[in-house]
């Protein structure tokens, strides 16, 4: 997931002014499409790429410099500047290499497509949508990052799964933005009667208000080794109540930075996505769960409380029963 590609560096963005299971369940019917162990979705995107820090001599004296000379080796400064670090070569929007060859890898005995699919996810820079890598680019990137044991025949399935999950994650973000993108009060008007009634309430508001500017994706980052507080809490609950809560941890985590348009101004909103795998379908299709929500900022925390708390309160207070009574008593 998250293997969007940007061949050119986009301009910097404008300054930014609990259910027991994840929120979305998705299946993918691409056969045995589960990512192999070597898939980068299980690894930190830019792990171990930081260049070594410059070290000062442990003693002011040095065999190469006289005691009165400057301890900084000026003679090496030019050669160090000519060799940029690996981290500096990465695209800051997705922490990936800005361009990957479409040519077959040395020794590759299986042909991979070089066509790239365009996603439905608009770029924050405004110049079209994010593009997914081709299977050949994906394979070359895997080799470049050291995953030399990747099965070349499985790469097309890996790309299909990654694209599928990215599209599902964006659909969840768009729905959240539809509800809260115009303010907390409007979000409460949609959420106060529970999740079952929210779609109808949202359609009514959108009909009376007119159009709404669509969100865009500014950048994103894979953080598979950084477990979110919610995922950690679910692990504890699964340990305490294994029969009721899931115990399998998420296999990946992403942070997506989304541009929300409010009264013509852009506000950056960070979304957190936990990716879970579930038991396969009887037909063998793999199943994935996406838990998509805004990060716990003051505004994000209120939005999460309104959405999930409103649903719990509506059911616990008998709102569903009252709604049914009103429907049955109408002439």
Task: Enter the pTM of the model.
Answer: 0.70
Mean pLDDT of the chain: 76
Beta bridge partners of 324: none
The arithmetic mean of pLDDT across residues 124-129, rounded, is 90
Q: Using alpha carbons, select from 217, 215, 202 the residue that is nearest to residue 257.
A: 217
Residue 71: CB partners within 8 Å, gap ≥ 6?
Answer: 56, 57, 60, 62, 65
**Does 121 score more than 70 pLDDT?**
yes
In this prediction, what percent of the chain has a pLDDT beyond 70?
Answer: 68
| Rounded Cα gap, residues 51 and 320, in angstroms | 58
| Residue 169 or residue 92, greater confidence | 169
With 80 as the cut, is the pLDDT of residue 11 above it? no
Model confidence over 240-272: pLDDT tens digits?
888 888 778 999 999 999 999 887 789 999 999
Question: What is the pLDDT, as a whole number, of residue 330?
Answer: 58
pLDDT at residue 69, as a whole number: 37
Residue 104 has pLDDT above 50, yes or no: yes
Identify the pLDDT of residue 211: 74
- Residues 275 and 290: beta-carbon distance below 8 Å: yes
Q: How is 135-181 classified by DSSP, letter by letter?
A: HHHHHHHHHHTT-TT--GGGHHHHHHHHHHHHHHHHHHHHHHHHHHT
Burial (0-12, 13-18, 19+ Cβ within 10 Å), 65? middle
The pLDDT of 289-307, averaged and rounded, is 95
Worst-scoring range by mean pLDDT, 44-48, 76-80, 319-323?
Answer: 44-48
Is the pLDDT reported for residue 7 higher than 90?
Answer: no
For 31, left (φ over 0), alpha (ψ -120 to 50), or beta? left
pLDDT of residue 293: 96
Top-ranked range on mean pLDDT: pick from 39-53, 69-83, 216-230: 216-230
Q: Calculate mean pLDDT across residues 57-72.
A: 41
Task: Please check the confidence at residue 322 and state whether its pLDDT lies above 80.
Answer: no
Rg (CA), the chain: 25
């Amino acid at each position: 997931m998250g293997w969007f590609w940007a061949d050119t560096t986009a301009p910097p963005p404008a300054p930014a002014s609990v259910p027991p299971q994840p929120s979305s369940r998705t299946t993918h019917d691409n056969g045995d499409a589960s990512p192999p162990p070597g898939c980068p979705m299980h690894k930190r995107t830019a792990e171990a790429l930081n260049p070594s820090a410059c070290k000062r001599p442990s003693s002011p004296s040095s065999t190469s410099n006289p005691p009165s000379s400057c301890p900084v080796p000026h003679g090496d400064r030019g050669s160090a500047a000519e060799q940029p670090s690996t981290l500096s070569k990465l695209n800051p929007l997705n922490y990936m290499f800005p361009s990957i060859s479409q040519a077959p890898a040395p020794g590759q005995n299986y042909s991979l497509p070089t066509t790239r699919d365009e996603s439905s996810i608009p770029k924050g820079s405004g110049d079209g949508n994010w593009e997914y890598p081709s299977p050949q680019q994906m394979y070359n990137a895997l080799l470049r990052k050291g995953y030399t044991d990747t099965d070349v025949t499985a790469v097309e399935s890996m790309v299909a799964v990654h694209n599928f999950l990215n599209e599902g994650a964006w659909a969840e973000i768009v729905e959240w933005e539809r509800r809260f993108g115009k303010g907390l009060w409007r979000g409460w008007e949609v959420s106060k009667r529970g999740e079952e009634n929210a779609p109808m309430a949202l359609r009514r508001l959108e009909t009376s208000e007119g159009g709404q500017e669509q969100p865009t994706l500014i950048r994103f980052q894979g953080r598979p080794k950084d477990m979110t507080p919610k995922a950690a809490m679910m692990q504890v609950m699964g340990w305490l109540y294994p029969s009721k809560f899931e115990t399998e941890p998420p296999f990946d985590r992403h942070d997506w930075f989304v541009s929300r348009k409010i009264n013509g101004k852009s506000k950056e909103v960070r979304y957190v996505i936990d990716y879970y795998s579930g038991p396969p379908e009887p037909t063998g299709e793999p199943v994935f769960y996406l838990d998509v929500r805004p990060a716990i900022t003051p505004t994000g925390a209120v939005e999460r409380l309104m959405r999930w708390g409103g649903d719990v309160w509506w059911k616990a207070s008998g709102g569903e029963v009252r709604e049914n009574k009103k429907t049955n008593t109408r002439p």
